[in-house]
Structure 1
């Protein structure tokens, strides 16, 4: 008997694909600069997701969440640097807590940007893209 592979819910397919595809591009921008990460790949993924789907708000937020997981690369570097810091114990705890807050804010910003971009993509689809009715003969 072969193991069954769980299927991905239909409303998560586009966000997982596009958000996941944006992660390497975001990481490349961070690795090239060494200090800043661009979320433009997540914005572009949100725009495409909004254009391709009917529920732009939900799909955009989900795409931003998946694409925003790239922020954890920076957070991992921050947490790995904490043991090298010197100072009282409360300072190390505060540094770790700040890393967690940074992660939450980074993912939230990614969700917001992708949701706005998805709304624009949905609007573009309605204006002249996917939703244009076929001309009558």
Structure 2
């Protein structure tokens, strides 16, 4: 992580507690609504907020983030295949990783309410920035 993890908050590992209870499968739908330009990468999707395709893609995103949480010490290797896919096959503009990160923070804030402290925000911000950087490293 850039400048190391925040000692004030530890991101819970995927597959338990917070990750199971978050409605993260709605992330792509939120991103499409807030940032309509991101829809261009999904011309074959039913883009209604609650469509099965959006929920399925949300599960993929959550799964990848879960892998990243479990392998914070080796994000490059963990996300290498995903980075290749987005850079070489899908040709996703890396700015979209930041847009998705913002949507993630909003969903997290809504879910956690008062528990969404500055320490939680910083921890997830660092984590998502590191994930975004790794996903974008193949573009160089």
Report the TM range for the smaller structure's normalisation: 0.3 to 0.5
* TM, length-normalised to structure 1: 0.38
Which structure has more relative contact order (CA 8 Å, sep 6+)? It is 2
